[in-house]
Chains A and B, each alone.
Chain A
Amino acid sequence: MFKTRKITPFAFCIFSLVYIFYVVQLGDSRMLGDSIGGDPGGMIIPLVLGIFMFISSFYIWLTDKKVKDENAENKLNTVEKHLLVLTIVLSLLYVATARILGFILSTSLLIYILTFANLTLGLQKSNLKAFFSGALISEIVLISVYTLGRKLTRFLLINGRKELIPAWMGSNVAALLLTLILVSVLFFLLNIIINKIFKNKNLFKQVKVAGAISVLTTEFLYLMFKQFFLVELITGLINW
């Protein structure tokens, strides 16, 4: 029976049952000051919806049978499955470790690993050396760029307030733009150096693209959200 039927409606069926029990266990809650009555209570709609969901998912489970070659385009091959699992696991790890690693490290690692895996179609043993060296270099580059950017921003904002530099240079937007320019120039120079060092290495292109994308995207998102929108991003390990 289970072999011919789809698992999703069955899962929804179980979910609906659990939800019904949860609603009943939660009990009814009445409107404050409902002394004369008339309030149907907070249980009725969730309960009706739960029962409807259970009946409909059970019906779908019974009628929506597996068909051979159905959704063939949606079927994943081994590489795609590998990438899907990697993406999900890394996403969960990202959320779980964000507080410890901080925004800069966790975001850049997430982007680097996924981009590299996508470009090389999965993390293979033969690529691991290139993968780890690329990760290390891109993290060093990112931390250097971030540190210099922070120093410049602080210099501009503090000296702008003290009127030691023209007021416009001390504004938030100017600090952001100047930092962006500095980051771009630094990145450009580093790119030339790295190109010269690793010119003929295998997998160089994929490592370079993954590293560049992770450094630039992380720095851009940081500048945009932290410096422009003043969102309190988690500092984690990089707390300067």
Chain B
Amino acid sequence: MDFFLAGLSQVLNVSTIAWMAAGSILGILLGALPGLTATMGIALVMPISFQLPTATGIGLLLAVYCGAVSGASIPAILLGIPGNPNAIATVIDGKKMTEKGFAGQALGGAVIASLIGGTGSLICLIFFSPLIAKATLAFGPAEKTTLALVGLVIIASVSGKSLLKGLFMGAFGMILSFLGADPFSGALRIPFAQYLSQTPFTKGFDLTSSLIGLFGISQVLYEIKNIDKPKDVVKQVEIKNLFPSFKKIRSMWKIILSSLGIGTVVGAIPGTGASIAVFMSLDSAKNIINSSNGKLEELGTGCLEGIFAPEVANNAVTGGALIPALALGIPGDSATAVLIGALMIKGIAPGYQLFQQNMSLVYAIFITMFIANIFMALFQIAGVRVYPKILKVPGGILFPIVLALSFIGSYAIAGQATSVGIYNMGIAIFMGLIGYICKKDGYPISPIVLGLILGQMFEENFRRAVKLAAGNYFTFFTKPICLLFILLAILSIVYPIIKKKREK
């Protein structure tokens, strides 16, 4: 109880609430604008979060995250274009409801579904993350090495169309994380060390600047292909009767529960993300509707069932993805990867230590997550008539602003050190170009982030484990937890290959 109250006191102050409110509105806008993503939003506000107290900063990031996931439903319903891939399944029934004159009900329903999904998965997060974190007590260097390996391999295997490209990108991220000083000997591991030993390059690749480049700058470059395309026009839609009846919502309880479960579980599996969860939830909803004897409406006809299933699921992913992130330090998706990066830069290591030594912060994170969901619902309802107007803002105006924000964000991380700031901007543009080339050629970028985050953890623990085993490399095969993780890693490589062969 003391920890809860301590966590509450970190959150319940004017500054945190104000920043979260701003973050929530910004998140909804970012989610609503096609081409801008939740991860990009989090990466862009990360430098701001560093200037704030930890709980306030995390609250700001969570507010952007929850807002962006939910905000993507606005263009999906009004235009038939998802704001980001999370709302890809909302398009089907959302657009039809708008055409039938029920845009208000669709938007309101999406908000309620998002709130249910977000808060429902938060309960799972509160319940499961301490339990999983406790299990990590048994983890030594060998277990941590294989845990990092499994996290990397899973995200690499599911985040793109090609397993090999994913693994390559993971390895690429890892080698970037090795730049700087050797963690054990302190020897410099940078090219042209004799010339660059007095430069910020010795500190390696700044994580925040890399994330800003990968998700902010690369997205700006990637979206240039749409600048001269005519923008979809939001027709004048009458938005009335926002809230669906309680009776209707109650009749969909099975769909809500199944989507909540799917979203949370899928979110907790590293690398999967909301775009998978929404289709699984639609599939499950289809089965529930088929067995409802006509009490529920058929999907694809412009019904609330087709809004609730994906919207509950994609917001449930937010809480689900935080379970492995907080408990193990393994992010569930690229957005939580950025959140972990934010925690790590603040000097907070996710895992059992966090739950044991900083329980008040854990509670603060839970509370901010709850507030973020409430704000998301409040601001989305309040601005339901305004957001469609914002969809008219052309990318040609937005992208230069995003670019400038990306540069100043990566510069600001350095605080007072000008040369470090300029170096960070250089990293941001380098990673932006890498991200652009990868996106263009179908290489997933999430594994780079994982590689950057987990690379050092992997190397340090690998060397410790082998050292403790007196140079025996087979030590990883002598421990049951390690074996389990290795098996999981092998499965996550083999399964997509078998699946692909079967499909052929």
Contact = CB atoms under 8 A, between A and B. Distances in A.
Given A31-B463, A39-B463, A121-B227, A213 B401 contact: yes
B400 interface: yes
Contact of A111 (B404, B437, B441): B404
B404 A110 contact: yes
B408 interface: yes
A175 to B, nearest CB: 17
B309 to A, nearest CB: 28
A123 interface: no
Interface string A25-58: 0100111101011111110011001101100110
A110 B165 CA distance: 34
A40 to B, nearest CB: 5
Contacts of B408: 103, 107, 221, 225, 233
Which of B162, B167, B189 has most chain A Cβ within 10 Å? Answer: B189
B432 to A, nearest CB: 8
Contacts of B189: 26, 29, 42, 46
A14 interface: no
A95 B470 contact: no
Interface stretch (A84-92, A132-140, A143-151, A196-204): A84-92
A228 B412 CA distance: 12
Nearest to A113: B400
B469 A38 contact: yes
Given A99-B422, A232-B416, A31 B467 contact: yes
Contact of A60 (B168, B175, B224): B168
B466 interface: yes
A221 B396 contact: no
A126 interface: no
The SS class assigned to the A binding surface is helix
A53 B175 contact: yes
Interface stretch (B177-185, B296-304, B319-327): B177-185
A163 interface: no
A4 interface: no
A168 interface: no
B415 A231 contact: yes
B400 A49 contact: no
A112 B155 CA distance: 39
A32 B185 contact: yes
Interface in B395-445: 395-397, 399-401, 403-405, 407-408, 411-412, 415-418, 421-422, 425-426, 429, 432-433, 437, 440-443
Contacts of A88: 221, 433
Nearest to A228: B51
Given A45-B462, A225-B412, A114 B400 contact: yes
Contacts of A31: 184-185, 463, 467
Contacts of A64: 162
Interface residues of B, number: 67
Contact of B187 (A42, A107, A209, A224): A42
Given A95-B426, A110-B400, A229 B48 contact: yes
B25 to A, nearest CB: 15
A59 interface: yes
B290 to A, nearest CB: 35
A8 B441 contact: yes
B196 to A, nearest CB: 13
A49 B175 contact: yes
A83 B167 CA distance: 32
B140 interface: no
A239 interface: no
A187 interface: no
Contacts of B224: 76, 80, 83-84, 87
A79 B441 CA distance: 20
Interface in B187-203: 187, 189, 191
Nearest to B167: A56
Contacts of B221: 84, 87-88
A22 interface: yes
A38 B227 contact: no
A91 B167 CA distance: 30
A12 B467 CA distance: 33
Contact of B405 (A19, A32, A221): A221
B425 A95 contact: yes
A73 interface: yes
B477 to A, nearest CB: 16
Contacts of B404: 107, 110-111, 217-218, 221
B184 A32 contact: yes
Contacts of A233: 408, 411
Contact of A118 (B395, B425, B432, B467): B395
Contacts of B187: 29, 42
B265 interface: no
B6 to A, nearest CB: 26
Given A38-B469, A87-B224, 11 more contacts: A8-B437, A40-B463, A56-B167, A73-B225, A87-B221, A91-B432, A95-B407, A119-B396, A121-B228, A218-B404, A232-B415
Which 6 A-B residue pairs are closest in the complex by CB-CB distance?
A118-B396, A114-B400, A229-B51, A29-B187, A29-B185, A31-B184
Interface of A: 6, 8, 12, 19, 22, 26, 29-32, 34, 36-42, 45-46, 49-50, 52-53, 56-57, 59-60, 64, 71, 73-74, 76-77, 79-80, 83-84, 87-88, 91-92, 94-95, 98-99, 103, 107, 110-111, 114-115, 118-119, 121, 209, 213, 217-218, 221, 224-225, 228-229, 231-234
